[in-house]
Structure 1
Amino acid sequence: MSELAAGPRPAPVDGHLPATPRVSIVIPAYNEAEHIVPALDRIFEAVQLAAEVLVVVDSVDDTTVPVIELYQRAEPRLRWLHNTYGRGPANAIRYGIDAARAKVAVVTMADGCDDPQQVDDLVRLVERGVAVAAASRYMPGGAQVGGPLLKGVLSSLAGRSLRTFARIGTRDATNSFKAYSTDFVRQVGIESRAGFEIGIELTAKARRARLPVAEIPTIWLDRQQGVSNFKLAQWIPKYLRWYFFAYGRPITLSALAARESNEKD
């Protein structure tokens, strides 16, 4: 946690945070000044549980920061965090989950592609005992609208095969829109350092630890403005690493934690 303490963690304008929230919503952002406000509006409209929303940026000069500071004046549940773990979405998500005050963390995107109406239900699944609750595009009632065809096909094949053959508990292991028990995440650690493969990593770790994973349907909409930071060719090998990891024998939480410690070394 020493790295976390080194980063600035601005408080809301009124100088205090609300009571301990039931959910910490973590949003990695990179120059999303033009797009994040509608996403935040939908989150604060849809989420009924006590929440804190943590927007995590890699630089204090990120264009998202002034927008968040302005939004904070009317919304004390919102904070921005300066990620000091290293650049990229994986490190931003790691930093956000480490900063989370709630027992449940939900990861969602700044571009509004995820449906915040699912947040409360995802949180309640974790509170009932699952380690990972996934918003699934590939189960009945779910859908993916838009987005690159190849990315969608590969994601669907990976998710469905993992559920069928590895019995991983969800048809959408690759989706970033998930809720996690923060105790579980802090026990097993996060090894990802590059892209959005954290979603499949933590789902695979839950499976190897024989902890429950659940899913609910969601409708994912491709971003309408701006350019996605998803780098398919660069990140496929990292997804494959965790895809095959999910098929291994049962492993203890302490052994999973040791892996993450080795990654830091």
Structure 2
Amino acid sequence: MSIEPTSEFAQPNLLLSVVIPAYNEEKNLKSTVTSLVTLLIEERVPYEIIIVDDSSRDDTAKVAQTLRESDCQIKLVRRTPPRGFGRAIRSGLAAASGDAIIICMADESDDPRDVVTYYRKLQEGYDAVFGSRFIRGSVVRDYPRLKLVVNRMVNKTIQWMFWCKFNDLTNAFKAYRRDVLMECAPFLSCHFNITLEMSLGVLIRHHNIAQIPINWYGRTWGSSNLSLRRMGRRYLQTLLKVYSEWILVSDDLIEDRLAHHRNMEAAQENHERRLQEQSERLSRIEKMLTSDGTEKQGTSHVNPEESHS
């Protein structure tokens, strides 16, 4: 799952789709998007931004519309009730057209520099990139104490259940190759538990996942829409769903993954064969042109004595 990807799976030309679900984020959305777009342009990352307004009660939709009008690479999806973080993510995924997908929060908690790092890792050939706020190199500011305790307990439980090293699976801020994510579809979660459904879905299919340290900053305006009490039952349901899938059909999932790798290798071999054939054709044409030029040059040098005879 964390093996270094080989160069044959590197993908330098990926279109990045950043999905940003937003509910009552009128004060945070503009700065979140503009700082991200500025950095993506500086880093020459081909991008599209999908803002999903989840039936906000404030002016989030107006802010998003203004952003969309200022940049043709920004899309706006306006949802009607029922609301839900998972529903917003699903709508954003449906509107995304990129080869790489990153889920990013609208409240400035995620660092745009980490978005670029995620993208570069996917370019290297990783199937997914999971950021962690709890490994060396990460920076976390103003994380609520109660949420921190609950987060650590839940993620330790997940690590134990799935025998994995990833220690921040409940965080939404992650990157996926589109085709890898679609293997795990359809996603059924309507709320924040979709973060687990997506990350664990990729995990149990034995994809090549990188874990990197990321930064996280507490919001400067507004309040979080996550309720620990309401989400407990939903997280448990999702855990049991994915765990049963992992236990009952793990052999099939491994077969699917191996088939995916075989298809990737075959596509790479076909690509290399086409390049080789093209190179050989060009070489033959070059030789023909060279030989024609030599023949013409030979006929143009006539012996002077012969011309006088």
Select between 160-169 and 62-71 the one with higher mean Cα deviation: 160-169
**Residue 172 (structure 1) aligned with residue 160 (structure 2):** no
Matched residue type, 1:32: E
1:48-86 CA-to-partner distances (Å, cap 9, x unmatched) read 311101100133876212112222333222121123694
Q: Which has the higher helix share?
A: 2
1:140 equivalent to 2:133? Answer: no
Q: TM-score, with normalisation over the residues of structure 1? A: 0.79
Structure 1, residues 137-175: CA drift from partner, whole Å, max 9, x if none? 011111332232221122123334534662335221011
- Which letter does structure 1 place at the counterpart of 2:23? Y
Partner of 1:78: 74
Equivalent position of 1:118 in the other structure: 114
Please say if 1:217 is aligned against 2:213: yes
Gaps of 5+ in 1: 1-19, 257-265
Which 4+ residue blocks in structure 1 deviate beyond 6 angstroms?
none
- Give the aligned residue type for 2:182: R
Q: Indicate which of 190, 194, 199 corresponds to 2:190.
A: 194
Aligned length: 237
Q: Does the 8 Å CA contact 1:170/1:213 hold for their aligned counterparts?
A: no
Alignment correspondent of 2:31: 38
The alpha carbon displacement at 1:211 in A equals 1.6
User: How far apart are 1:189 and its partner, in Å?
Assistant: 1.0
Measured at CA, do residues 228 and 184 of structure 1 come closer, stay the same or move farther in structure 2, by a change above 3 Å?
A: same
1:242 Cα offset (Å): 3.6
The verdict on how the C-alpha distance between 1:255 and 1:196 changes in structure 2, with shifts beyond 3 A counting, is farther
SS in 2 for 1:73: helix
Letter in 2 for 1:63: D
Normalising by structure 2, we get a TM-score of 0.68
1:153 aligns with 2:149: yes
Deviation at 1:255, TM superposition (A): 11
RMSD between aligned alpha carbons? 2.7
> 1:41 and 1:151, CA in 2 relative to 1: closer, same or farther beyond 3 A?
same
Deviations along 1:101-160, whole A, 9 cap, x unmatched? 111110011111011111122123234443331121011111332232221122123334
Indicate if the aligned counterparts of 1:188 and 1:254 stay in contact, CA closer than 8 A.
no
**SS class of match (1:186):** helix
Residues 164-207 of structure 1: per-residue CA shift (max 9 Å, x gap): 66233522101110011221222221434332222221221122
SS at match of 1:147: coil
Q: % of aligned pairs identical?
A: 27
Larger Rg: 2
Which residue is 1:26 aligned to? 19
Distance of 1:226 and 1:185 partners within structure 2: 31
Q: Does the C-alpha gap of structure 1 residues 55 and 193 become closer, same or farther in structure 2, counting only changes over 3 Å?
A: same
